[in-house]
Amino acid sequence: MERKIVDKLLKWKENPRKMPLLLYGARQVGKTYTALSFGKRHYKNTVYFNMEDSAEITAIFERDFDTERIIRELSAKSGQSIFPEDTLIIFDEIQACERALTSLKYFCEKNDGYHIIAAGSLLGVAVKREKYSFPVGKVEMLNMYPLDFEEFLWALGKKDICGLIHKSYETMSPLSLHDTAMDLYKTYLVVGGMPKAVLDYVETKDFNFVIDTQKNLNNSYIADMAKYASPQETTKTMAAFASIPAQLAKENHKFQYKVIKSGARAYDYEPSLDWLKAAGIINKCVLAKEGKLPLSAYADNGSFKVYMADTGLLCSKFGISANAVINNPHSFEGFKGALAENYVMQALIANGLQPYYWNSEGKAELDFLFQDSDGNIIPLECKAAENVKSKSLNIYISRYNPIYSIRVSAKNFGFENNIKSIPLYALFCLSV
């Protein structure tokens, strides 16, 4: 399965001053497969160690942080020679061995040419930093996300339509295969971008297999909550996780603690949301009180929206059928906009953008703001259908006069009144 992150892995490999690479993201997002495939394709040999599966491997790191000794013993354990530059060393689920994580600092400082990729699903929540220090500044970090819509099309063998979408985006001219692309977008909403779910769909075209996989994934996240938190914390995290569909079903998608439990306060549940975000299960979109640079300076961290990191997992969790999304969207009219918003948030994050939302004292609310590579703040309005009438974007434009604006909807490409009309399926064209 072809992934865009491979280009970043190649840049890392070719960097003469490289540090060990920490590849993190949600469980089952494709980290291990990508690292192994990268090693097979770009190195003479690859040695793989799963820190969850072997006490003997974790014991290697208990003695000291002598990197040459560690390499010798890892070589003996794997039965393979480990050479600088020519061998890719993979430490999988590194959060299970805190001393292995700490050792990355020493590999960086020794700088003896070993290429190391460490992968972890729950680094932000499983590592007890009070015991062993996180190697800040001694590792390069890459976040891996579910497949975006373009990668999904690649998996389906539809690279040709990707090229056409890119060309229409560059010229802002209508795409002749617009209806086809919209149908594929609807399929992506249901399947999502988790590799196993995508593979199930590619191989079977049967949504029942996809749904079973998604249920298992959601259940594995719940199991992780129980594994890496105290019983009290687990209960709160599960409750916050369970509330996400209800949060998005509200007319106002701002996260409200009372939806979790009557009388609930931020103090009680904020750590749970932090856990879910650190685990890569959710994305948070924070309110920007002003559309001014830098957006982070105007962030109101107490006001935010929460989205699932994958639309397929959201559909599964909410019980929205494939037929409803693809053939009968009117049957879930009240949630259709929220699903589109979730997709847009997911796409912006995957593109390396940091989205915010904006409102004006209850008079208007704009779905997303982000800062482009030239330092411009770009407002983005999301519509699930072709009806694009809205006063919120106009209010924002009149107040801040952005260089251009974006309206994402089911309509084809176009450019009018300094507003770029971008179809929902073309969001992968945006980038930092």
CATH code of residue 117: 3.40.50.300
Q: In sequence order, what are the residues at sequence separation of 6 or more whose Cβ sits closer than 8 angstroms to the Cβ of residue 33? A: 1, 195
- Which residue segment(s) compose the domain that 131 sits in? 5-143
100 and 11 in a common domain: yes
- Residue 377 in tokens: 């703040």
Given a cut of 60, whether residue 243 has pLDDT beyond it is yes
**High-pLDDT (> 70) share of the chain, %:** 96
Write down the number of H helices and E strands in the chain: 19, 13
196 and 129 in a common domain: no
Residue scoring higher pLDDT (32 or 386)? 32
Given a cut of 50, whether residue 128 has pLDDT beyond it is no
Strand order across the beta sheet in which 419-423 lies: 299-308, 282-288, 356-359, 365-371, 377-382, 405-409, 419-423, 414-416
Given a cut of 90, whether residue 289 has pLDDT beyond it is yes
215 and 85 in a common domain: no
341 and 243 in a common domain: yes
Q: How confident is the model at residue 125 (pLDDT cuts 50, 70, 90)?
A: low
What is the C-alpha to C-alpha distance for residues 153 and 334, in angstroms, rounded to an integer? 28
Given a cut of 50, whether residue 152 has pLDDT beyond it is yes
SS3 362: coil
355 and 313 in a common domain: yes
Give the domain-ending residue among 100, 118, 143: 143
Sign of the Cα pseudo-torsion (60, 61, 65, 71, in order)? positive
Number of domains in the chain: 2
The residue type found at 111 is N
Residue scoring higher pLDDT (324 or 179)? 179
pLDDT of residue 432: 62
SS3 188: helix
What is the C-alpha to C-alpha distance for residues 117 and 122, in angstroms, rounded to an integer? 16
What is the C-alpha to C-alpha distance for residues 312 and 294, in angstroms, rounded to an integer? 33
Mean pLDDT computed over 136-161: 96
pLDDT of residue 394: 93
330 and 245 in a common domain: yes
What is the C-alpha to C-alpha distance for residues 320 and 338, in angstroms, rounded to an integer? 12
SS3 63: coil
Mean pLDDT computed over 313-337: 84
Q: How confident is the model at residue 133 (pLDDT cuts 50, 70, 90)?
A: low
Given a cut of 90, whether residue 385 has pLDDT beyond it is no
Mean pLDDT computed over 14-19: 94
What is the C-alpha to C-alpha distance for residues 54 and 422, in angstroms, rounded to an integer? 50
The model scores a pTM over 0.85? yes
Degrees to nearest 5, angle at CA 139 with 133 and 145: 105
Mean pLDDT computed over 5-23: 96
- Residue 136 in tokens: 């800040």
Identify the helix (H) or strand (E) that includes residue 75: helix 67-78
Degrees to nearest 5, angle at CA 256 with 265 and 365: 140
- Residue 372 in tokens: 């482009």
pLDDT of residue 361: 77
Burial class of 261 by CB neighbour count within 10 A (0 to 12, 13 to 18, 19+): middle
* Of the listed ranges 125-139, 255-269, 300-314, 404-418, the one predicted with least confidence: 125-139
Given a cut of 60, whether residue 126 has pLDDT beyond it is no
Residues in the chain: 432
The mean of the pLDDT values for the chain is 92
Given a cut of 70, whether residue 355 has pLDDT beyond it is yes
pLDDT of residue 63: 93
157 and 116 in a common domain: no
Chain Cα centroid distance, residue 172: 27
186 and 95 in a common domain: no
- Residue whose token pair is 């999502």: 192
CB atoms within 10 A of CB 386: 9
347 and 219 in a common domain: yes
Q: How confident is the model at residue 96 (pLDDT cuts 50, 70, 90)?
A: confident
Residues 182 and 425 sit within 8 Å (Cβ to Cβ): yes
245 and 321 in a common domain: yes
What confidence tens digit (pLDDT) does each residue in 69-80 have?
Answer: 999 999 999 999
Residues 376 and 353 sit within 8 Å (Cβ to Cβ): no
pLDDT of residue 124: 63
Mean pLDDT computed over 207-234: 88
Give the domain-ending residue among 125, 143, 161: 143
Q: Tally the C-alpha atoms within 13 A of residue 390's C-alpha that lie toward its C-beta.
A: 22
Smallest Cα–Cα separation from 187: which of 315, 318, 322, 1?
322
CA distances from 6 to 12, 141, 148, 173, 177 (A): 10, 14, 14, 30, 29
176 and 317 in a common domain: yes
SS3 118: strand
- Residue whose token pair is 């795409």: 175
What is the C-alpha to C-alpha distance for residues 379 and 86, in angstroms, rounded to an integer? 46
Burial class of 330 by CB neighbour count within 10 A (0 to 12, 13 to 18, 19+): exposed
The crossing angle, in degrees rounded to 10, of helices 333-350 and 178-191 is 90
Question: 3-state SS of the chain: helix, strand, coil percent to 5?
Answer: 50, 15, 35
Smallest Cα–Cα separation from 427: which of 367, 345, 305, 312?
345
164 and 106 in a common domain: no
Give the domain-ending residue among 143, 171, 190: 143
